[in-house]
Structures are given as structure tokens and as C-alpha cells.
Structure 1
Amino acid sequence: MPGNSQRKGAIRKTSKGPTAGSGGRVRRGLEGKGPTPKAKDRPNHKAYKAAQRTDRAQAGRPRRRAPGSDEWVAGRNPVVELLRSGAPVAAVYVAEGAERDGRLREAFALAAEHAVSLMEVSRGELDRLTAGAVHQGLAARIPAYEYAHPDDLLDRAAEAGEPPLIVALDSVTDPRNLGAVVRSAAGFGAHGVVVPERRAAGMTAAAWKTSAGAAARTPVAQTVNLVRQLKAYQQAGLMVVGLAADGEVSLPDLDLADGPLVVVVGSEGGGLGRLVAETCDQLVSIPMAGDLESLNAGVAASVALYAVAQARAAG
């Protein structure tokens, strides 16, 4: 009831006097906390985060996986050709009750030879996995390609004690041309191939097959901006030459072949882009007889790399 001072909580006790031991807490609160840490040592500061990114980059350059999920190759002939090419097949899938013919037996033998997993699934499941493609009871799964960093190609040349030789492709969209360039790069001693990340062919199953296994030995690097990457190579001491029908230097007269070099090959239709051409130190033409004006990207790269390899051997 009101005014009952005996009820628990009826009287609010307050104290304005000092609490026991409060003097020590006050003194500790007034003590200095030492010098302010440097920006790079404060976890929430942007300088600290920038230093962390630099440390991670110096610890190693992670390879960039191709966007999207694994790729599927469907059909007996395509799968056999893929296994023959040495592509990194993750698994081979065969439909239950599929007719055993020569191609299927060869696929089984190649899968066993390359230690590729062989999976038996229902025909309906194989239809689902291949998105309704005509698989003839056989399909293969390829993991997304892991691209190298463009600087890895320079490291590869340094490890071999050779002047760098790199092939850069400007908007080449046919994966078979990419595969052919990778094969030529491996055959003529190039240290790798650089492709743009967008509007260009990537290392698909078609590129793997055309490379005839060379893609397992020659790295392909991806760059967000080809012009910027070419300038970075120039700053590293490489000369950049572009193949063009109207080049001012004929390929046999190229005197840069025995030094650090980037050979840029243009797209199948338009050739080199304007900015790429302006970035090149020299534009080089391949002399041809008759009315043929140009070669496709794969053939042009092969001819240029052969000429460079001959010049280096002679030097």
C-alpha cells in the first residue's frame, strides 16, 4: 500500500558519495595508452588493408578459373577425340545399356589409360547432365580451365634462361584458332599465350582438341585489358609487334626476333584493333604471293612464330 516503507523496492537508495576503489579506476582512465599505431598497423585502416593485399599478391599469384560451370562434351566421336587430345577430362559418363561399339571401347580404354573416372548413369540422367544434347550414350565432363597470370609467362622464360616470347591474341573469337595458336606456341618455343577476358575465345573443349595436348604444356593467361597488359610488358623490357597486312616491316626483315618479344595477332575479320595497333612498337606484314590478303589467326601466328624461332636459332 502507498507509504509502506517495508515493501521491497519501495525506497530507491541512491548514493552520491565516492564508490570504494573508484580512485584507482579514475587514475587508470587518465593514464596514457602509448603512441598511436601507424596506419598500416591498424586493422580497420585502408593502409593496413592495402598492405595485406600486397602481401597476399607477393605470396603467389592464384590462377583464375574460367567463369561458369564445367563444360560437357557429348557424343562418341567428340569424347574419343577429346580423350586423345590429352584434355583434363574430369569424368566420362556412359548411359546404362549403351551399345558397345569400337568407339565406346576406345573411350573406355583411353579413360583407363589417363586415369579418368568412368561413371554409368541412366539415359535420362545423361540427358539432364548434357542439357538434352545428342550424346549417343557417352559424354565427358571438363573442369573449368585455370588461366595463368600474365606475369607467370615472364617467370617461365626467366626459369628457362631465355628471352621471353609471348603471343597475344586481340579479340580472336574462334576457339579452334586459339587451340592452333597454343599448339604453335608450344612447337616454336613461346612461353605462353595471352587472351582478353571478354569478347574473345577461351580454353573450351574445342580449343583443347585443336591444341592436340599442347595446352597441357603451354600456359594461357587472361587479362582484363589487353592494351594495358601490352604496356606492362613494354615496361618490363619487351618489344611488342603486331601482325598487320599493311605493316611497315616485312616479317623476314624483323630485327627484333632475338630479343624479348610479344607477337600480337588480330581477330579473324577485323585484324588488330586501333588501340592495340597504336600500342605496338612495330607492325609487321607477312609477305604473300597472289591475291590473298591475309591468313587466319592460327596460321598467321604459326608463320610468325616459325620466323622468330629461325631468327633466334641463327642468332
Structure 2
Amino acid sequence: MAKGEKKKAMRGRAGRMQGGRGSGRAGAGQVRLWGRHAVEAALKNPQRVHRKLWATREGVASLDGELPSDFPVEWADPADLARLVARDAPHQGLVLECAPLEDVFLDEAIEDDGPVLVLDQVTDPHNVGAILRSAAAFGAAAIVTQDRHAPPESGTVAKSASGALEIVPWVRVVNLARAMEDLAEAGYWRIGLAGEAEATLAEALPAGKVALVLGAEGEGMRHNVASHCDSLARLPIAEAMESLNVSNAAAIALYAIATR
């Protein structure tokens, strides 16, 4: 097939995908990832089922390692790839369509004694991705979210996570309060971050396993979630600022746990 025909087929396929131009949505039951770190991590993850890679030759050359000779690749130029992802998304010459990750159960995820991050209604995919990245950097065992109040697995989450989506278990539960009870039974001390708390995080940290509970920006933790915490703590920020971005707060709290 001539170069012009490849581009034509590519554009036709992109145009038929659900959501139309710039939606960044994959086919039914699939997830579309973009950017070198997110795609490379997904390709290296044996738990991923890969469907197809759209790429520039420069994008494939930037990957760490070689693709199998039979891997389904469709070569494209940057303009073609821009049609497959969210508007203005930095695809870096790589767009991968794959199956979503298998569900992870809480009891499986907490076999590792690292800290657990419980996110109460944190819905921004950029924030969740950034929290995943910090969780991977500081050896967290898992993040836990409620199914109804968290973003789906997506290219935006994966790009913000910079590969951590493939590393940190993401546990989705129906009832967040019940999951917190399970964490307590597993020996975790549950600390909710709240600006109005009297104790600082350093003062509240125990010697054992910790589950950090973070609420959505502005609203904070819901009352029922806060009531399931063993203690509330604050980060000692200057009075000039009311609060921190939730992903920044998560990173600082994880550092505090790592250096206690």
C-alpha cells in the first residue's frame, strides 16, 4: 500500500471511532494510551492485552526495547495520531489501544506493607494520574477509589501517571467506608488529611502501616469517610495558602511516611 493510501485508511478508521475527532476514546471495551512513558510501560506490562499500536517511526525508535516482529503496528504521521487522542494531547508519536487492566482486590493489593492511598471523590484524571506517579515513587501498595466517583482508566490518567498506572494497583470498590474497615482489620492506621485538624501529619504518623485518606479539592472528605479515620492530620502549610492541590498533598504525605 502506498504512503498516501496508508494515511487515507488511518483517517477513515479514526473518523469512525466513537466520539469523533479529538475524543481520545477507544473502541468498546478498550483503552487508548498515548505518550512514550505510558505506552512503553503498558507494552512492558505482561498483564496488558495489546490490540494495536499506531506510531511514527521516531516514536517507536524512542521506546526502550524492540517490539515483537508480529506486533500490530500501523505507521502514521503526527497529524494522523492527533486524530486518535484527546485534543492537544502530547502523543509523542505513540498511540496504543489495549484492554483495560484486570480488577484488583483489596486483600491482594495490601499483601505489600507499603502505604495505601484512599481517594474520596477525587475525579480529575490528571490528579489521579499524578497521585499514581507519586505512589509508585514512594512505594505505595495501592490506591483505592470508589467506582462511581473516580475517573475511568484512560489515556489522560496514564499520561499523567507517566507509567505508574502499570505499576501501582488501583483498587475500585463499591463502598469506600467498608474498604476502610477492611484496611483497619488488616492493621492499617487510617489518617485523613484535613486542613482543620489540630495535629500535623508528622505528629499523627504511627510506626506501623498507614492508609492516607484524601478528599476532593474544595469539598474535602465526606463525613462518613472522615468518621472511618482513626485520626485527622494536616500538612503544616503557610496561612497565605488555604490548601494544596490533592496530588501535591499526596506526594508530600508519602514523603513524610517514607522519611519518618
Place the TM-score, normalised by the shorter chain, in its bin: 0.7 to 0.9
| Letter of the 1:291 counterpart | A
- Tell whether 2:22 aligns with 1:108: no
Q: Of 250, 254, 260, which aligns to 1:305? A: 254
Q: Of 29, 34, 37, which aligns to 1:69? A: 29
| Letter of the 2:53 counterpart | V
Return closer, same or farther for 1:138/1:212 CA change in 2, 3 Å cut-off.
closer
Q: Hey, what's the Cα distance between the residues in 2 that align with 1:251 and 1:134? A: 38
Return closer, same or farther for 1:193/1:131 CA change in 2, 3 Å cut-off.
closer
- Structure 1 unaligned segments of length 5 or more: list them: 1-67, 95-103, 158-163
TM-score normalised over the length of structure 1: 0.61
Q: Shift of the alpha carbon at 1:93?
A: 2.6
CA contact (8 A) 1:192 1:219 kept: yes
Looking at CA atoms only, which structure, 1 or 2, has the larger radius of gyration? 1
Q: Hey, what's the Cα distance between the residues in 2 that align with 1:150 and 1:183? A: 19
Q: Shift of the alpha carbon at 1:114?
A: 5.1
Structure having greater relative contact order (Cα 8 Å, sep ≥ 6): 2
User: What does residue 207 of structure 1 align with?
Assistant: 157
SS at match of 1:263: strand
- Structure 2 unaligned segments of length 5 or more: list them: 1-27
- C-alpha distance after superposition, 1:237-273 (max 9, x if no partner): 22111001111311121242x2121101111231111
Return closer, same or farther for 1:213/1:112 CA change in 2, 3 Å cut-off.
closer
User: What does residue 284 of structure 1 align with?
Assistant: 233
Q: Shift of the alpha carbon at 1:131?
A: 9.7
User: What does residue 177 of structure 2 align with?
Assistant: 227
User: What does residue 124 of structure 2 align with?
Assistant: 174
Number of residue pairs matched by the alignment:
220
1:154-303 mapped onto 2 (5 Å cutoff): 154-157=110-113, 164-256=114-206, 258-303=207-252
Q: Shift of the alpha carbon at 1:82?
A: 3.7
Return closer, same or farther for 1:307/1:112 CA change in 2, 3 Å cut-off.
closer
Q: Hey, what's the Cα distance between the residues in 2 that align with 1:247 and 1:261? A: 17
- C-alpha distance after superposition, 1:208-250 (max 9, x if no partner): 2222222322211111111111012112222111001111311
Aligned residues with identical type, % of pairs:
30
Q: Of 24, 30, 53, which aligns to 1:92? A: 53
SS at match of 2:112: helix
CA contact (8 A) 2:36 2:94 kept: no
| Letter of the 1:301 counterpart | A
Return closer, same or farther for 1:175/1:87 CA change in 2, 3 Å cut-off.
farther
User: What does residue 17 of structure 2 align with?
Assistant: none
- Tell whether 2:96 aligns with 1:140: yes
RMSD: 3.1
Q: Hey, what's the Cα distance between the residues in 2 that align with 1:274 and 1:286? A: 20
- Tell whether 2:74 aligns with 1:120: yes
